[in-house]
Amino acid sequence: MSHHIVEVADLCYAYPDGTAALNGVNFCIHHGESVAIVGANGAGKSTLLLHLNGYLTPMQGRVRIGDYPLTKETLQDARRSVGMVFQDPDDQLFMPTVYDDVAFGPLNLGLPLDEVDLRVEAALSQVGALHLKDRPPYHLSGGEKRAVAIASVLSMSPDILVMDEPTTGLDPRGRRMLIEQLHSFQHTKIIATHDLDLVLDLCERTIVIREGRVTADGPTLDIFRDEAFLAESHLEKPLRLQACPICSRKG
C-alpha cells in the first residue's frame, strides 16, 4: 500500500449553473493524518469533499484514494474505504431504526449476520449510542443523531473518515464528547469545519481554501498564528490562542 492515502491533483469543478466552485486544488494526505479543511462560506469545502467519494466527477484533474485513481470501476471500493459523515444527519439516517441504519452498510457488503451484529454493536458503543439501538432515528436529539450517523459509517470499517461540519448544532458538551470520540479513532480524518477550536484539538494539519484554491497547507499552529492571513481568509484566531482581554487588562 502506498504511503499516500488521498491525493488530489489540479482538481477543478464548476456546478451545472456555471458557478466555479473549485479552481485547481492540490494536496496529498498520508495514512493516519488528521487534516482540517477550513475556509469562508462558499469557499468550496463541501464541493471538495463530495469529490472524495466520487459523488461529483472532476472536470479536470484527478483524485486518488489509496492505490487507485477514482474512476467508475474503482468507485465501489473507494466508497467502502471513505466513510462520509454528512452535514445534516437526517440525510444519512434513512432506516426505520438505529440498528437497521447502522447495519445497512455491513449487510450491503454481504457480511454474515453474526459479523453484522458484532460490527453494529461495536460501532454503536464506540460512539456511546448502544442504548439507542431500537429507537427510530427521527426522534433522536441532534447530538444523538450525529453519533448514530458516525456509527453508521464506522460499521463499514472505513480507512478514511470524511466529515462535513461535524459540530454544527451540537451543544458544548455534545461537541466536547464528539471531539473526544474522534480523538480516539485511529482512522485518517478529513474534517471540513468552521470550528477552529476543534481543529486545534484534533488536527495537526490544516488546509485553507479560498475561492476554490488552496491558499495554505501546513501545521495547524503555524497557520493559526498568522492573523493577517486568517483575516484575509474570513477566519479568526481560535479564542484559545488569543490573549485573554480580561486578564491582560488586569495585568
Ligand X SMILES: Nc1ncnc2c1ncn2[C@@H]1O[C@H](COP(=O)(O)OP(=O)(O)OP(=O)(O)O)[C@@H](O)[C@H]1O
Q: Which residues bind ligand X (CB under 6 A)?
A: 15, 17, 19, 21, 39, 41-47
CB count in 10 Å sphere of residue 18: 6
Give the residue among 165, 156, 38 at the shortest CA–CA distance from 89. 165
Nearest alpha carbon to residue 163 among 141, 178, 142: 178
Of 189-218, binders to another protein (CB under 8 A) are: none
CB of 90 to Mg ion, least distance (A): 16
Cβ-Cβ contacts under 8 Å for 58 (sequence gap 6 or more): 11, 12, 13, 51
Q: Is 100 in the site for another protein (CB under 8 A)?
A: yes
Q: Looking at 4, 31, 62, 135, which residue binds another protein (CB under 8 A)?
A: 135
Handedness of CA 66, 70, 74, 77 (dihedral sign): positive
Angle value at C-alpha 230, between 225 and 235, nearest 5 degrees: 120
Q: Does 136 contact another protein by CB under 8 A?
A: yes
Closest approach of Cβ 88 to another protein, in Å? 7
Strands 188-192 and 160-164: parallel
- Residue 63 interaction partner, one of Mg ion, another protein, ligand X, none, beta carbon < 5-8 Å per kind: none
Which residue of 29, 37, 156, 209 would you call a contact of another protein, by CB under 8 A?
A: 156
Q: Which does 41 bind (CB under 5 to 8 A by kind): Mg ion, ligand X, another protein, none?
A: ligand X
The verdict on 76 binding another protein (CB under 8 A) reads yes
State the binding partner of 135 from Mg ion, ligand X, another protein, none, CB within 5 to 8 A by kind: another protein
| Gap between the Cα atoms of 52 and 205, Å rounded | 18
**Choices 42-50, 95-103, 120-128, 139-147; region in contact with Mg ion by CB under 5 A:** 42-50
As measured in angstroms, the least distance from the Cβ of 251 to Mg ion is 40
Our finding on whether 95 is near another protein (CB under 8 A) is: yes
When asked if residue 169 is in the footprint of another protein (CB under 8 A), the reply is no
Q: What angle do CA 119, 120, 124 make, to 5 degrees?
A: 115
Counting residues that bind Mg ion (by CB under 5 A) gives 1
What are the Cα distances from residue 220, in Å, to 196, 204, 217, 239? 10, 5, 9, 14
Residues that bind Mg ion (CB under 5 A): 46
